[in-house]
């Protein structure tokens, strides 16, 4: 098979995927990004291009959609929609978070689940790819309302999950509070203390040390590895960070620990620039305790910080940019601005936060670019470590977990870098991540037969 034939085959498969999955642009985008990387590996390994293998890879093994009725504090009944996409289990049980946000729909969950296949493969920890969630919005809801929603959600979800089948975790809108309510309902219905069925649990009942920190920490470690490859380190660098949720908070914390200066944070109302560097303790108080807005941070921080309503956090000049909020938040125009301002590295803390056009611009300009399926794999890596601790009914000290995370992120970086070199795309972490994850998954699929 020639490379031209391979490219034609991939283009045909993408067109067929888009036809069979209409009105799901995020899923189309995620599939396109992977397929565009695969021509060299399929040319070198024609057995991977056999009919049906890639077709199976882009088709979820199972798609679950269900009704979630719940009552608010006034007794009014609401109906939301729940999703779980069990995408690929060739390497292990499905593993991926639950997202509670009004934007959640089938296409969003499928894009996240597809990305999760490759991300989980890169960790080397024996976990498959899946994702789930609901269009429920926990913002502004009381604890009692969130509990009732979670109980209703788990009443259906429990039929489909288990520590050897599918292990959900948290994502946007699903933190320790939500995981606790979900776990309690699972235990209530099943009459089993199955700690490994959910990750991101509280430390009193099977949660792992540094699980909340892991995605943000991991992305910073991946960024540091990319810079080291270029003969630099993070110490003394300035950084712009988007978001103010879990990923952003711990991205800021790890940047500070490694000597960088995180200048920004953001939410849907706008962004804050803090010339002295973000005060993490104040930001955590406002966002995690008071559930306030970043504008409150600027007001209480003093003259060194100012709030910008709307606008783009990527307008702030910095050495490093770490998008940590949501998909497609960093556009082609933003990339142009970052390049003009001299950015050295962009690394994705969120899932697919950079548009394809922006990625292309950054790579053309020689900016080190860390794709989310590699750079933000720290969260699922520590989730898998949590599963290991649960199986052994033990708890590891934080220092051990952090050492394991650092080793995993270094290995992911090195795998992506080496794979890109091997297939003629030196320095292209997107190609390296896609191909390395693909090789691991499809090799397992081949060995297990047509299922």
Annotated binding site for substrate: which residue ranges? Answer: 95, 116, 119, 170, 383
What's the DSSP call for residue 330? B
Instruction: Please identify which residue in the block is written with the tokens 């590996």.
Output: 41
CA angle 205, 211, 213 (to 5 degrees): 140
Among candidate residues 225, 247, 252, 218, the one with its CA nearest the CA of residue 378: 218
The set of residues, in sequence order, having a beta carbon less than 8 Å from that of 111 and lying 6+ positions away, is 24, 26, 27, 29, 30, 327, 351, 352
The set of residues, in sequence order, having a beta carbon less than 8 Å from that of 186 and lying 6+ positions away, is 154, 158, 161, 194, 197, 198
The 3 state secondary structure assigned to 345-403 is EEECCCCCCECHHHHHHHHHCCCEEECHHHHCCHHHHHHHHHHHHHHHCCCCCHHHHHH
Q: In whole angstroms, give the CA distance from residue 76 to residue 82.
A: 19
The residues annotated as belonging to the active site are 131
Q: Which two tokens stand for residue 78?
A: 């609401």
Annotated binding residues for NAD(+): 215, 246
Q: Which two tokens stand for residue 237?
A: 């660098």
Instruction: Please identify which residue in the block is written with the tokens 């406002």.
Output: 286
């Amino acid at each position: 098979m020639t490379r031209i034939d391979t490219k034609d085959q991939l283009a045909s498969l993408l067109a067929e995927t888009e036809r069979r999955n209409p009105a799901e642009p995020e899923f189309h985008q995620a599939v396109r990004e992977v397929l565009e990387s695969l021509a060299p590996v399929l040319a070198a390994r024609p057995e991977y291009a056999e009919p049906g293998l890639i077709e199976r890879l882009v088709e979820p093994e199972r798609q679950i959609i269900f009704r979630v009725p719940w009552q608010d504090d006034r007794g009014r009944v609401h109906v939301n929609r729940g999703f779980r996409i069990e995408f690929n289990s060739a390497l292990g049980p499905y593993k991926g978070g639950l997202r509670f946000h009004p934007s959640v729909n089938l296409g969003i969950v499928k894009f996240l689940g597809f990305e999760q296949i490759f991300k989980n493969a890169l960790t080397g920890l024996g976990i498959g790819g899946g994702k789930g969630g609901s269009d429920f919005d926990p913002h502004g809801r009381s604890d009692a309302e969130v509990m009732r929603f979670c109980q209703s959600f788990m009443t259906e979800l429990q039929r489909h999950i288990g520590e050897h089948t599918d292990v959900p975790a948290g994502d946007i809108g699903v933190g320790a509070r939500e995981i606790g309510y979900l776990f309690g309902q699972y235990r209530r219905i099943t009459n089993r203390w199955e700690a490994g069925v959910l990750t991101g649990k509280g430390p009193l009942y099977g949660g792992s040390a540094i699980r909340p920190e892991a995605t943000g920490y991991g992305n910073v470690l991946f960024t540091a590895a990319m810079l080291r490859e270029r003969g630099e380190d993070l110490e003394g660098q300035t950084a712009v960070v988007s978001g103010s949720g879990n990923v952003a908070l711990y991205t800021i914390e790890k940047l500070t620990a490694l000597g960088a200066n995180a200048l920004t944070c953001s939410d849907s109302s706008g962004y804050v620039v803090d010339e002295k560097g973000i005060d993490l303790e104040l930001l955590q108080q406002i966002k995690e305790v008071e559930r306030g807005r970043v504008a409150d941070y600027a007001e209480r921080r003093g003259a060194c910080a100012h709030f910008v309503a709307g606008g783009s956090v990527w307008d702030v000049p910095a050495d490093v940019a770490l998008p940590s909020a949501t998909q497609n938040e960093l556009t082609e125009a933003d990339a142009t601005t970052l390049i003009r301002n001299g950015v050295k590295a962009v690394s994705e803390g969120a899932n697919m936060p950079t548009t394809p056009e922006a990625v292309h611009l950054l790579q053309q300009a020689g900016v080190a670019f860390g794709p989310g399926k590699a750079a933000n794999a720290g969260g699922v890596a520590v989730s898998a470590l949590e599963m290991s601790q649960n199986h052994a009914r033990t708890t590891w000290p934080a220092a051990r977990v952090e050492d394991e995370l650092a080793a995993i992120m270094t290995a992911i970086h090195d795998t992506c870098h080496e794979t890109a070199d091997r297939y003629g795309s030196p320095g292209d972490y997107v190609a390296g991540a896609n191909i390395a994850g693909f090789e691991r998954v499809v090799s397992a699929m081949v060995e297990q037969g047509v299922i």
